[in-house]
Amino acid sequence: MQYFEVQDQSLIWRGAGETLVITPWGSDSLRVRSALQHDVEDTRYALLESTEGRSAIQIREEEAAEITCGRLTCRITMDSWHHYGRLAFYNQKGELLLQETSPANALCLRARKFEPYLGGDYHLTLTFDGQEGERLYGMGQYQEEILDWKGCTLELAHRNSQASVPFVISSRGYGLLWHNPAIGNVSFGVNRTTWEAQSTRQLDYWITCGDTPAEISKHYALATGFAPMMPEYGLGFWQCKLRYWNQEQLLEVAREYVRRGVRVNVIVIDFFHWPRMGDFRFDPEFFPDPAAMVKELKSMGIELMVSIWPQISLNSENYQEMRQQGLLVRAEYGEQIGMRFVEDSMFFDPTNPRARKYVWEKVRRNYYDDGIRVFWLDEAEPEYGSYDFRNYRYYLGSNQQIGNLFPQMYARTFYEGMREAGQENPVNLLRCAWAGSQRYGALVWSGDIMSRWEDFRRQICAGLNMGAAGIPWWTTDIGGFHDGWVDSPEFRELLIRWFQWGCYCPVMRLHGDRKPTQRVYRKNGEEVLPSGADNEIWSYGPEACGIFMHYLSRREEMRPYVRELMRQAHEEGLPLMRAMWYAFPKDPLCAELKDQYMFGPDYLVAPVLAPGLREREVYLPLGTWRNVDTGEILKGGQRITAPAPLERMPVFARQT
């Protein structure tokens, strides 16, 4: 009986209606696909064309075969009882990296379980054995103060401040991409790991191995794309608030920064600068001459970033045409409304190439042609009013099957349009990402988080895991988004500590909905969306302003260093924020450190993450380290108590 066959460089196993195909997909990497009652499909949700990697295939006997690509080998064995092909992966040393769960004789388990929806597709689970002592990192951004996901269950779905990027790096020396944009879950249990897609047509994942996390990151970037080179304006300070609501207000803030001798690289116009959501243009009452505004900002060396929302108001001038042309997401039941905020609206469908073209042409005509080169692509999850994932359908399929693609396709809409317009390295700010988003110039920020210490601590883990998941461009609202009161001493301390940390983030951006709220009116007396309180560096008193100025100067001094880190991200796929386990994988004390990290190879950053602290414990790995503020030289391989007065955050430079 023939179970195995070879086709091109792929190893194929067939059994009981299942077709399992294992294909070399890059250096030391394999792609695994399985389908029930049909051939596997070559969907490219995140994976690019494989340009490297050749296989060696050996069918050793009737019930065993293996395929090798570089240092990675997949072995298929079949038990004599169930005749079910079980996969196991090994590195070049013959060490087991990962293996599917056994059928377990009388238990009759299926590692690859296709549970049918009658008349439709499948609920899919894939189960691997748990590995004792394994640590698992990456997976994107979750609002948890957790770095190692072993023992955790994660939702494979996007929400405001949650970005599911299903690439995980194991301490055992492999990386795995769940190449499926379906809504689901993953459970990294002690006894087993289970991946789940609520509705799908096939199993599809990609696995690689490497001797270091950096090797695994490069393999992943080769498979899914590298971030572009960050433009020069991405290296410095970005000024933002909710919200500069008129042209003169924005320009006066920019002029004041110039008067104070502070270099601002980007200033931002936030949401509801438009007449209606989905009009994709400035409201002429508040922004009468956008081209002149952009020109004056550029004369000061400042780029203007403008917020774009994917919602189309039912009252927008574009709604009827977009609905008639099928360019909107469709609700399966009930009203065609995806979100109710200020206006009832529905999201445009970025999985539809005609919708991408339509939206970009509006943006090009009304923003890009006036000189705007950076866009803030908000609401990128998208933020449905109730996150009822079953109730929406896209051009590419149901939300259940492909919904996690939305932020990647949203980024693609603008990246491709800007590239076609001649822009070399587009960068746009998004509130979400999926696998492959990095190749479309996506700079992700961590969403509408609270201005609280616990949220601050969570962002350290979020940023480190986003970097491990292949998204090197990442940032936060410095100070958090919600409920930061300008005159509160408690908030000012939090903001100072957050600002210090922001200096050592990939992008340094000040933003937030500061309190008290400022009401805004049209000339005719109609009230429109309010603005938050002032959020410039001088808004928080002279002590805070002096500290902010110091760290802005430091960021400018670090510009050549940050530029080099951006080059490493672009060419090597390396994150800028590197967890201690990532930078020192052989040091067991670094495995669980979640409150300090490396900013590139040279700077160990130890944020102050609780109120009132004026010192903190820091672990220095082996080597020699210099305190960048005091100049003190310290030997590594020890824990120290570092001084942390309010005006300074502990940072240590690695000495050669």
Beta bridge partners of 644: none
Taking the C-alpha atoms of residue 276 and residue 316, their distance in angstroms, rounded to an integer, is: 5
Taking the C-alpha atoms of residue 347 and residue 338, their distance in angstroms, rounded to an integer, is: 7
Beta bridge partners of 634: 625
Integer angstrom CA distances of residue 25 from 222, 223, 570: 10, 7, 20
Q: Are 404 and 432 in contact (CB under 8 A)?
A: no
β pairing state of 266-269 and 237-239: parallel
Residue 344 known to be catalytic = no
Taking the C-alpha atoms of residue 391 and residue 19, their distance in angstroms, rounded to an integer, is: 31
Question: 3-class DSSP state for residue 286?
Answer: coil
Question: b vs e for 562-600, b when ≥16 Cβ sit within 10 Å of the residue's Cβ?
Answer: beebbebbbeebbbbbbbbbbbbbebeebbebbbbbbbb
CB neighbours of residue 274 within 10 Å = 21
Instruction: Tell me which residue of 481, 452, 459 sits closest to 242, measured CA to CA.
Output: 481
Residue 571 known to be catalytic = no
Taking the C-alpha atoms of residue 540 and residue 330, their distance in angstroms, rounded to an integer, is: 45
Cis peptide before 243 (omega within 30 of 0): yes
Taking the C-alpha atoms of residue 460 and residue 451, their distance in angstroms, rounded to an integer, is: 14
Q: Are 613 and 643 in contact (CB under 8 A)?
A: no
Question: 3-class DSSP state for residue 501?
Answer: helix
Residue of 28, 100, 204, 381 marked catalytic: 381
Taking the C-alpha atoms of residue 639 and residue 637, their distance in angstroms, rounded to an integer, is: 7
Q: Sign of the C-alpha dihedral, residues 250, 256, 262, 263?
A: positive
Q: What is the DSSP letter of 426?
A: -
Residue 448 known to be catalytic = yes
Question: 3-class DSSP state for residue 620?
Answer: strand
Taking the C-alpha atoms of residue 503 and residue 237, their distance in angstroms, rounded to an integer, is: 9
Radius of gyration of the chain (CA): 25
With vertex at residue 440, the alpha carbon angle to CA 436 and CA 444, rounded to the nearest 5 degrees, is 80
Question: b vs e for 464-485, b when ≥16 Cβ sit within 10 Å of the residue's Cβ?
Answer: bbbbbbbbbbbbbbbbbbbebe
Integer angstrom CA distances of residue 193 from 84, 123, 151, 180, 263: 19, 17, 9, 16, 49
Residue of 448, 493, 564, 572 marked catalytic: 448
Within 8 A by CB and 6+ apart from 421, the residues are 364, 368
Catalytic residues: 378, 381, 448
